[in-house]
Amino acid sequence: MRLPFGAWVVLGFLLLAAFGPLLAPYSPSAIDLEAEYALPSAAHLLGTTDNGVDVLSVVLHGARLACLIALGAVLVSLTVGTLLGTLAGLRGGLTDHVITGVADLVQAFPSIVLNIAILALTARPGLLHVVLALSANGWVLFARLSRAETLRLREAEFVQAARALGASEARVLGRHVVPNLAGPLLVQASAALGGAVLAESTLSFLGLGPGQVASWGALLDQGSAVLLRFPHVALISGTVIALTVLGFNLAGDWLRDRLDPKTR
């Protein structure tokens, strides 16, 4: 199977997250004041940033942080959103009204604003807090998608056929509804992972990240501060963030096309 560009980027990102910190030539907190904001060279392949910290090492360690937060946030959002959305779709009535109402309400808050407000109320925002803050609105899209899909599948001919053949409600759900939910949810999850990487970078860029040494967004923030004299820091970190987000989006599009038999 030939993998497209997006899938390669995602694969590369996952490998960086897994092994990047082992490959990093320096510690992301190793200070070398002699070499502050050095341009890329043999000693520092991507140059250095504030206090002479090696940019490549920050990028490699930052990949793990971004990956952990994105996976965590999407996992929580996917689980909570799908449970609530399927419940709303199957039950209908008051349950549906309440869940849809809360989802509408959360959507009135710009995600970044809600994330910041939540982090503001925690004493020392850590990894877990950022994951939960991102999930606070991340679940809405999954809930909407799984609700719509459940409503559609409930009335689909093959589901009605299964019912007519005497299949139990549990079998209908397990064998017919859930497997058909998986495709659209996977596509949504891929886009959401890209979104979560971007959200983590944005929070760190604004100085509200989980306070880790190595984060892509924090690196971009440092780079922006010295943009006029040492543009390489911002150029490198910005490219890494943009490329990763683009990769996840393209991978999502590719998955959608592959999973949808109609477009094949």
Q: Is 155 within 8 Å of 176 (Cβ atoms)?
A: no
Q: How far is the CB of 64 from other proteins (least distance, A)?
A: 20
Answer for which of 47, 210, 217, 252 binds other proteins (CB under 8 A) is 217
Q: Which is nearer to other proteins, 118 or 153 (CB)?
A: 118
Q: Can you name the residues that pair with 54 across neighbouring β-strands?
A: 48
User: 133: part of which helix (H) or strand (E)?
Assistant: helix 127-155
Q: Which is nearer to other proteins, 3 or 117 (CB)?
A: 117
Cα(122)–Cα(59) distance, integer angstroms: 27
Q: Can you name the residues that pair with 48 across neighbouring β-strands?
A: 54
Angle between helices 232-259 and 55-91 (to 10 degrees): 30
Q: Residue holding tokens 């001919």?
A: 157
Q: How far is the CB of 237 from other proteins (least distance, A)?
A: 8
Q: How far is the CB of 244 from other proteins (least distance, A)?
A: 10
Cα(136)–Cα(3) distance, integer angstroms: 33
At 123, which amino acid appears? Answer: A
Q: Which is nearer to other proteins, 128 or 161 (CB)?
A: 128
Cα(190)–Cα(212) distance, integer angstroms: 25
Considering only residues 223 to 262 of the shown chain, the ones binding other proteins according to CB under 8 A are 223-224, 227-228, 231, 234-235, 238-239, 241-242, 245-246, 249
| Half-sphere exposure at residue 175, Cβ-oriented, CA atoms within 13 angstroms | 12
Q: How far is the CB of 250 from other proteins (least distance, A)?
A: 9
Q: Which is nearer to other proteins, 159 or 192 (CB)?
A: 192
Considering only residues 184 to 213 of the shown chain, the ones binding other proteins according to CB under 8 A are 198, 201-202, 205-208
Site string for other proteins, 108-137 (x = CB under 8 A): xxxxxxx-xxxxxxxx--------------
Q: How far is the CB of 58 from other proteins (least distance, A)?
A: 16
**Burial of 215 (C-beta count, 10 Å sphere; 0-12/13-18/19+):** buried
Q: How far is the CB of 249 from other proteins (least distance, A)?
A: 7
Cα(59)–Cα(195) distance, integer angstroms: 18
* Nearest CA-CA partner of 73 in 184, 189, 182, 185: 189
Question: According to the binding rule CB under 8 A, does residue 215 interact with other proteins?
Answer: no
Question: How many distinct helices (H) and strands (E) make up the chain?
Answer: 10, 0
Q: How far is the CB of 132 from other proteins (least distance, A)?
A: 8
Answer for which of 23, 105, 161, 182 binds other proteins (CB under 8 A) is 105
Q: Which stretch binds other proteins (CB under 8 A): 22-30, 107-115, 140-148, 171-179?
A: 107-115
Q: Residue holding tokens 């397990």?
A: 174
Size of residue set near other proteins by CB under 8 A: 43
Contacts to other proteins by CB under 8 A:
101, 104-114, 116-123, 198, 201-202, 205-208, 217, 220, 223-224, 227-228, 231, 234-235, 238-239, 241-242, 245-246, 249
